[in-house]
Amino acid sequence: MLAPLMILAVLSIVGGWLAAPAFLPGGTDYFVRFLQPVFGGVEAAGAEAEAHSLELWLAGVAVATALAGALFAYWLYLKRPEKADGLVRSLKPAYTTLLNKYYVDELYAAVVVKPLLWISTVVLWKGADVAGIDGAVNGIASGTTSIGDGMRHTQSGNTRSYAVWVVAGAIVVIAVIFFWPFGFKPVIGMVR
Amino acid sequence: MLHGGHLLSVLIFFPAVGALALLLLRGDDHKFIRIIALIVSLAEFIFSLLMVRSVPIGTTGYHLEEFLKWINQPPINYHLGVDGISLFLVILTTFLTPISILASWKSIEHRVKEFFVMLLMLEVGVVGVFLSLDLFLFFLFWEVMLIPMALLIGIWGHERRVYAAVKFILYTMAGSIFMLIGIIWLYNATGVATNWTAATFDLPTIQLMLQNGSIALGSRSEMLLFLAFFVAFAIKVPLFPLHTWLPDAHVEAPTAGSVMLAGVLLKMGTYGMIRFCLPLFPEASRRAAGWVAVLAIIGIIYGALVAMVQPNLKKLVAYSSVSHLGFVVLGIFAFHNISMQGAVYQMLAHGISTGALFLLVGMLYDRRHTFEISEFGGLATPMPKLAAFFLFVALSSLGLPMLNGFVGEYLVLLGTYQRHWGWASWAALGVILSACYLLWSYQRVFFGEITREKNRTLPDASTREKWILVTMAVVTLWMGIGSTFITTRTAAASQDVIDQVEPQRPYEAAAPNVITPSRIPPQAKPDSRNASPKIMTTERLGLR
């Protein structure tokens, strides 16, 4: 991992000079020049002085802030390490909140991730998919099997029970032919 | 009509000849059988590439047509043809077959000869489905394809293979019965319309008769016919809530079976929607589009959520197919050229990337004989190469730009958004969720500490596996970068389908009493506004 870091370090030193601020000697903004064909925008000559002071001011504030932070960190962690522990103890709630990144991850886990996983597992997968839809599909299959299983018993091979079925069937047919109560006729040649 | 020679017939029956040759071989020389099967399937792949030349860019209609009288009464013809849409689906099939054969090289140890015979017969059925232009011939291949697939699952599958095979075959048959009724109804209608002088099963003829009004379907019978075809295709896709055969079939099938099932068999459903439902029953398609889109969007989100919580890695990939195919159906029923091309592209991309995912899951199974995610963990340490390929394929499946999944999903969302922005917004959730389930499962399988001692010594990808995976990765990358090679060829064909669903002036056609331009109802206006950007984007995306 060292080699990529070294390349990036070198580039970050060199890179700044591509857009050097104009108040520095030889400060030519190659980057703006590079983008000129796209954005146009050569600033008016009068505004140049004002731009310089603004540039200087912004750069100053940025450098000062960075230096102050570095100095403070140097003092706190290297010169007086016991101070840091004291701060942790005195600002305990603030410290833990910051350490846990304001608990944003935990919030997401509780509000979004866990409910979504629960719904997906219990409601959608095991409920809707396995029990609901697939249950209906398998239900049709097992229903068909049990109907067939029930019908199987009519084919017993027992001649006397066949005779009973013939008699029962004849009675039903006769009853339909003679006593059909409805208007339409399900059997050709019906009496009524 | 027959200028193309017999390339398409060769494509359909060459694998059958190969299968026949395999049958004649001795069953115990496994290596020879594998090599012969591989050579046959590779030759088939090269033959299928010859089709590309014969489908000129920007042309509609069928090419390389073959027409032979087959049965006199009822008049069933052997009518084949290829257009921009079926072209690449056939190539996808012929590409995945050698890959499947290579993937089964080591993992199939018993009944080797029969296994490769079945794989080749499956190819016959699938290629036949994509090339048939006669409804009866289409139905025949549709059913032919079922048998080898069911046997592949039922004989060479995992523990619950017989259950899965029976479920697969019954589910699909239940749907195809409706389609058969629809086909007979259409045939009967052509008979009645021509006074039984020219009854036909011929798809282009029926399409023409429906368009010029020789066959006049009432709106109710049109809807019933649409549903008869649609249900058969929706089961195959599978569209929510007709998808429950899929997790069982995918998980129980051997790796090669899963690759073919996810790679090409599911696309037969969406292909059927494009080829039959939309052009034959445009009015019903328009009326049903909203409902179909709702089911597709439910499928996208529901499939992704259920995939996310699967403890079984293969089932996870299976449910992800439900989600991805939802995009395809949505793209088809948005009736926009871009989304239609996106749907076709997504079919191809899903075939490659989900096929590759199943290959990788199969490779893990070969090593550990389990699919449980909890049994894995930290696998990137013993097998860095396999882990790298898995990540590549997972990224392509979740739609990383420059890889194939992105093109399909993006085109579908782009086209759908222009017609129904609400649909596209809901569907976009699926893109996020696919990242969730793929990356999360990747993390649990390949990253972290090794929790099982057995996993510490697993071998990395072998040379054969590397060849398979490199091939898949190259195609994935090529489809992500060189997508115009495919979209230029699908553009005209998909615009043709759109034109049949929504003719140039649909409101005049639908309501003949309001022809004068001043009285065009207000809802016609958004459509006419859509017309010009549609053509412009077609040119930009498709025809250059």
Same domain, A11 and A31: yes
Q: Which residue has the tokens 């589009």?
A: B289
**pLDDT recorded at residue A41:** 59
The model's pTM: 0.83
Helix (H, G, I), strand (E, B) or coil at B296: helix
Let me know whether A71 and A52 are in one domain. Answer: yes
Could you read off the pLDDT of B74-101 as tens digits, one per residue? 888 899 999 889 999 999 999 999 999 9
Question: What is the full per-residue pLDDT of chain A (192 aa) written as tens digits?
Answer: 789 999 999 988 888 777 776 666 666 677 777 777 777 655 544 555 566 778 788 888 999 999 999 999 998 888 887 877 888 888 888 888 888 888 999 999 999 889 999 999 998 888 888 898 889 988 998 999 999 998 888 788 888 888 998 999 999 988 888 887 777 766 666 655
Q: Which one of A72, A100, A128 terminates a domain?
A: A100
Same domain, A18 and A67: yes
Co-location of A60 and A8 in the same domain: yes
Claim to verify: residue A78 and residue A12 sit in the same structural domain: yes
One domain for residues A122 and A190: no
Query: A192: which residues sit within 8 A by CB, 6+ positions away?
Result: A178, A179, A180
Do A51 and A106 share a domain, yes or no?
A: no
3-state secondary structure of B391: helix
- The reply to whether ipTM tops 0.90 is no
pLDDT of residue B66: 87
Residues A138 and A110 in one domain: yes
Res. B535 pLDDT band, cuts 50 70 90:
very low
Phi, psi of B450 (to 5 degrees): -75, 120
* Three-class secondary structure assignment of B80-136: EEECHHHHHHHHHHHHHHHHHHHHCCCCCCCCHHHHHHHHHHHHHHHHHHHHECEHH
Nearest chain B residue to A127 by CA distance is B306
| Of the listed ranges A185-189, B147-151, B174-178, B534-538, the one predicted with least confidence | B534-538
Domain count, chain A: 3
Count contacts between A and B (CB, < 8 Å). 28
In this structure, what token pair is assigned to residue B38?
Answer: 């591989």
Q: How far apart are CA B260 and CA B250, in angstroms?
A: 10
Does position B33 have pLDDT exceeding 80, yes or no? yes
Residue B101 and residue B254 in contact, taking contact as beta carbons nearer than 8 Å: no
CA distance B270 to B344: 9
Nearest to B475 by CA among B485, B462, B461, B489: B485
- A33 and A91 within one domain: yes
CA distance B114 to B118: 6
- pLDDT range class, residue B507, cuts 50, 70, 90: very low
Whether residues A165 and A92 fall in one domain: no
Mean pLDDT on B524-542: 41
- Residue A84 is part of which domain span? 2-100
Residues 160-179 of B with CB under 8 A from A: 167, 170-171
Q: Which residues of A touch B167 (CB under 8 A)?
A: 137
Angle among Cα B190, B194, B198 to the nearest 5 degrees reads 75
Show the 3-state SS of B302-356.
HHHHHHHCCCEHHHHHHHHHHHHHHHHHHHHHCCCHHHHHHHHHHHHHHHHHHHH
Domain identity same for A31 and A77: yes
pLDDT tens for B308-363 read 999 999 999 999 999 999 999 999 999 888 899 999 999 999 999 999 999 999 99
User: Which of A78, A100, A122 is at the close of a domain?
Assistant: A100
Interface residue A53 vs chain B (CB under 8 A): no
| Same domain flag for A8 and A96 | yes
User: Residue A134: its chain B contacts at CB < 8 A?
Assistant: 244
Residue B44 Cα, gap to closest chain A Cα (Å): 38
Residue A55 CA to residue A63 CA, distance in Å, equals 12
Average pLDDT, chain B: 86
pLDDT tens column, B399-417: 898 899 899 999 999 999 9
Q: State the number of CA atoms in the 13 A half-sphere of B4 facing the CB.
A: 25
State pLDDT tens for residues B194-209: 888 888 898 988 988 8
Say if residue B458 is exposed, middle or buried (CB neighbours under 10 Å; 0-12, 13-18, 19+): middle
